[in-house]
Structure formats: C-alpha cells, structure tokens
Structure 1
Amino acid sequence: MNLIGKNIKTSRERCNMSQKELAHKIRVGSAKIEKYETGESIPDTLTILKICTVLDIPVSTIMNSGLHSTQIPEHIPYEMYNPQELNESECYRFLNHDV
C-alpha cells in the first residue's frame, strides 16, 4: 500500500463510506478504488480532487503523510475545491499550490 492509497482508505473509512459508495460518487468502478487503496494504481489529479471533494477533505490530507489537516488552506480559493469546474491544467496548478 502506498501513502496516497493509505490516506484515501483512512479518509474514506472516517466518512463511514464503502469503496463502492465512493466509486459511485466519483463515477468510477469500485475495483478502481480498491486498486488506489492497495497501491496497485495511483489516481490522476482530477480523480484525487473528486475524492477529496466527496470526502470533504483538503488535497493535502491525501497527499501528505499526516491525516491531521481538515481545514481548507487559506491560500487556496474555495472554488478550486470544485473539480467539476476545473480543467486539467488548473488541477495541476492547484496541487502544486501555484494558485
């Protein structure tokens, strides 16, 4: 299991959500969520944003080694947390804090 996968699983479980429920909400197959959580696959940038939106957590929770952050960082505008309105280049800027 990789760090991102572990953080996805921990965050999903904290929300009392099954892999199947998360998969449905981000519109992927439930096998994809299992692959992310076991480290067999790594989600792309847009998928990470969707997961974070559904679980109501900041991207740093998935990307960092600690799961203690639950607040949206002040330097990132709230609208950047809505992946439906972001294109791919905006997602990369968001994840690299070039906002």
Structure 2
Amino acid sequence: MMSIGSRIKQRRTELNMSQEVLAEKIGVSRSAISNWEIERNYPDLQVIVSLSDILEIPLDTLLKGDAAVVEKISTDTVQRKSLSKKLKFAYIFIAILIVLMGFALHKTKWMDISSANQIKTFQYDGKNFIIATDLPFYRSMGGCAIDYSNNGEIINLNFMSYRDLSMANEEVFITNAYLYPNTTKVAVVYNNEPLVMYNIEDIDLSSK
C-alpha cells in the first residue's frame, strides 16, 4: 500500500510538475517536498489539504493506508487544541494585567505628599512658600491646596505630586501665599492631619 510520500511523488510526476514548482505553489522549500517524498518527515494537516487541492487528489485517497501520517495528524490536532487553550488563557491573563496596570497608573497619577520624610526644606520668602521634596525619580511636584483655618492663625498646605513620564523629577515647588497678621503656624498636611508643623519665625526669610 502506497505511503503519502509515494502518492505525492506519483501525482506530481503525472502532472509533469517539478519539486520546485510544487514547493512554490505550497509556499515551502524544495527540500521539504523531497523529504516528504522519501518519507524523511511528513507534511502537517494544513499542508496536506493544500497538496490535495494542488495535486487534484481527494484527501482520503492521499491519506489512505498511511497510519503514520494519520497518527501524526491526530497528535498535531490534539497539540494544536492544547496550544489554542493555553494561548486563550494567556490572552485573557494579559488583558486582565493591562486593565489592572491601567487602573493602577490612573489611580497613582496624582498623589499627595504623605510623609514627613518626603519634605527636605520648607521656607517662606515674604510672598511664596517654597518646598523642597524628596520624590521618586518618576514623580514631580505639581500642585498645592491652601486652607486658612482659625481665622488665618494656622495655614494648612496640602502638596501634590504627579507621575512624570518625562522623568524631569521636579522636586521644588513654589506657591503664592498670604500671611495674616495673626498667622503663627504653617502645617503641611495629609488627609487633614499635619505631617509637619512650622512656626512662622522659623521659615519667614523676609524677616531675617
């Protein structure tokens, strides 16, 4: 009983088709055709379907009696299904990971200064508060909210940093501020709780 390699060679010869021409039609190398015909290895299922069309030979005739090829096709099919499932799980995992990363990046775009360790120096030059911070390399200072409480006696400052993709790492921030005559203290706060409390006489450079 003829093998698939013998059938390929026989039908190719009947059609007066060289190995080079058949290889070009299928999209493989000439050596691949040669290897199939001498049964060094076998074509996969997709190529077998193409061979059936190009050589004008029914698929069942091409495979008839060649148990080795049928077994290979069966094994390949199982492996393809297994690989397909793994790829689907991988795609789902990657999609979930991208969503979570996007959420995390969005949530951390703006962050309040939340630790006293992030504050290096704090000064007042008569018009502006000047804060020097210690931030990660990917963040820069970006804003400040000012709250005058107790009729201006205490000024609460809430400083914010943002995720800076340019990696400029701007750690000094200057914000305009007005001191009331009765202002005695300035606090850098986080969640309405003071991180650091300064006496005006300790930070007011204009009076020194």
TM-score if structure 2 supplies the norm length? 0.30
Q: Secondary structure at the residue paired with 1:43? A: coil
Classify the secondary structure of the residue corresponding to 1:36.
helix
- Cα deviation digits, residues 37-61 of structure 1 (max 9, x gap): 0000101011011111111211122
1:63 aligned residue: 63
How far apart, in 2, do the equivalents of 1:17 and 1:45 lie? 22
Alignment of 1:29-68 (within 5 A): 29-65=29-65
Moved over 2 A (4+): none
- Alignment gaps of 5+ in structure 2: 66-75, 78-208
Q: What is residue 20 of structure 1 aligned with on the other side?
A: 20
Per residue, is there more helix in 1 or in 2?
A: 1
Separation (CA, whole Å) in 2 of partners of 1:60 and 1:11: 15
Q: Distance in 1 between matches of 2:61 and 2:13?
A: 14
Counterpart residue type for residue 43 of structure 1 = P
Whichever of the two has the greater Rg, that structure is 2
Cα displacement (A) at 1:31 = 0.3
Secondary structure of 1:39's counterpart equals coil
> CA separation in 1, counterparts of 2:56 and 2:3?
19
TM-score by length of 1: 0.61
Q: Cα RMSD (Å) of the superposition?
A: 1.8
**Identity percentage over the alignment?**
35
Q: Counterparts of 2:61 and 2:19 in 1: how far apart (Å)?
A: 18
How many Å separate the matches in 1 of 2:23 and 2:46? 14
Aligned-partner Cα distance in 1 for 2:61–2:3: 10
Distance in 1 of aligned mates of 2:57 and 2:27: 18
Higher strand share: 2
Greater relative contact order (Cα 8 A, min sep 6): structure 1 or 2?
1
AA paired with 1:21? V
Offset, 1:63: 1.0
